[in-house]
Amino acid sequence: MSTNAQSAADARPYEPAQGPALRRVTAGALKRRKGVSTVPMVTAYDVPFARFAEEAGIDWILVGDSLGNVVLGYDETTPVTMEQMLHHTAAVSRGTSRAHVVADMPFGSYQVSNEEAVRNAIRFVKESGAESVKLEGGVHEADRVRAIARTGIPVVGHIGVTPQTAGLGPGYKKRTHRDRLLEDALAIEAAGAYAIVLEVVDFDIARELTERLSILTVGIGAGPHCDAQVLVMHDLLGMYPHSPPFAKRFAEIGKAATEAFRDYANAVKNGSFPA
């Protein structure tokens, strides 16, 4: 693609599919999987990897603000902006036709007021094609979840380790305060979320939350007893050097890419490519 064509494509917002309606998996359909079998979710940030995930049968894709760490090179997710999230969520929507795409609301896009939270959630749906949004926080953010859910936009909560603010104080250690986690989870459920991420939560507490809640629990470093599991794509594919200890590498794509680049560079240097 020429540079001009590329920048025109970058500037183009998400365009809904034309022709026969493509029915995406809904939040309701996902919620009905509770108790049936554990649901796999993965993050993605661009067209090719979103397509690979969907082709592998994964139909719940999170455009996480982990974008900041694994794609944009920040140490934290805190600096990630609405514009960056919209840009990457739109790419994931364009790369999929059936998957339910969840947009992660970045730090600062929902904390100030219900109005701002709703406005930004609507932007995700209208400008990037997201089917639902996710935001971090328990009791204190329940009002935001309620306000967004009232507009008809499905919401995913996120408690336990909450990376947007972890570096500002509470840190990344395993969360073991049962009563606080239970209170947070029940508040997010009552506010109308259809699922809740449990990040680095004590396994027994995660099991108890999964049993007590009617919404889906999505574990990451929270043990095997959740309704769903999520991993950051770069961790499971071996493309990020600082993966957390709970993340399993299912491939070594980083090593394979380095090898391929080395072979290409050598072939150019020694004249064997182009033939």
Part in contact with ligand KIV (CB under 6 A); list of ranges 24-32, 63-71, 167-175, 201-209: 63-71
Q: What burial letters (b/e) apply to 112-135, b meaning 16+ CB within 10 Å?
A: eeeeebbebbebbbebbbbbbbbb
Q: Do the Cβ atoms of 133 and 53 come closer than 8 Å?
A: no
Within 213-242, the residues that bind ligand KIV by CB under 6 A are: 220, 230, 232
The single residue listed with the structure tokens 């957390």 is 244
Find the shortest distance in angstroms from Cβ 144 to ligand KIV. 16
Q: Which is nearer to ligand KIV, 135 or 179 (CB)?
A: 135
Which one of 131, 136, 189, 199 is the catalytic residue? 199
Find the shortest distance in angstroms from Cβ 107 to ligand KIV. 11
Q: Tell me how far CA of residue 173 lies from CA of 200, 206, 207, 245, in angstroms.
A: 7, 15, 18, 12
Find the shortest distance in angstroms from Cβ 84 to ligand KIV. 12
Q: Do the Cβ atoms of 216 and 39 come closer than 8 Å?
A: yes
Q: What is the largest CA-CA distance in the chain?
A: 67
43 binds ligand KIV (CB under 6 A): yes
Count of alpha carbons within 13 Å of 39, Cβ hemisphere only? 26
Find the shortest distance in angstroms from Cβ 108 to ligand KIV. 15
Find the shortest distance in angstroms from Cβ 204 to ligand KIV. 21
**Number of residues that make up the chain:** 275
Q: Which of 44, 59, 60, 64 binds ligand KIV (CB under 6 A)?
A: 64
120 binds ligand KIV (CB under 6 A): no
Q: Which helix (H) or strand (E) holds 41?
A: strand 39-43
Distance CA(237)–CA(250), nearest Å, equals 6
* Nearest position to ligand KIV, beta carbon: 64
199 is catalytic: yes
Part in contact with ligand KIV (CB under 6 A); list of ranges 5-13, 58-66, 88-96, 113-121: 58-66
Could you give the residue numbers annotated as active site?
199
List residues near ligand KIV by CB under 6 A: 43, 62, 64-66, 104, 197, 199, 220, 230, 232
